[in-house]
Amino acid sequence: MPRSERSPLLLAGLLATAGVAHFAAPRQFDATIPRSLPGTPRTWTYVSGAAELAMAAGLALPRTRRTAALAAAAFFVGVFPAHVKMAADWRHRPTPQKAAAFCRLPLQVPLVLWARGVARNAEGRS
């Protein structure tokens, strides 16, 4: 299978794994939810996990791939504040944890670009 055909499935796998993690270990995600959002952190954790699972399913199907990829790009931008909160909250943790939290921030850019590339490659395909 050519790389361009694997790319959507790899992105789907990443999102599916993250989505399952939101349900399997929600407490770690609850802590990253900005307090300024309405509702409870657990609700946001479950909603984002469900969204990741839905996007993963959409990416796996050629008919819905473009829409799901565009949704994933928007999602990666939308969760950036949670990553910023995590980095701020972890600034006093041991160096390896602090480094991991801060290194996640620039990783959102390639994720957004990856999702946009999947959407672009899905155009015109059904």
The answer to whether residues 115 and 69 touch, using CB atoms and an 8 Å cutoff, is yes
pTM over 0.85: yes
pLDDT at 126: 47
pLDDT tens series, the chain, 126 aa: 555 678 999 999 999 999 999 999 999 899 888 888 899 999 999 999 999 999 999 999 999 999 999 999 999 999 998 889 889 998 999 999 899 889 889 999 999 999 999 999 997 554
Alpha helices of 1-126 — where are they, by DSSP H?
A: 3-24, 26-30, 41-60, 65-78, 80-89, 95-122
Nearby residues of 62 by Cβ (< 8 Å), 6 or more positions away:
122, 125, 126
pLDDT at 34: 86
- Which amino acid is located at 37 in the chain? L
pLDDT at 125: 56
DSSP conformational letter for 93: S
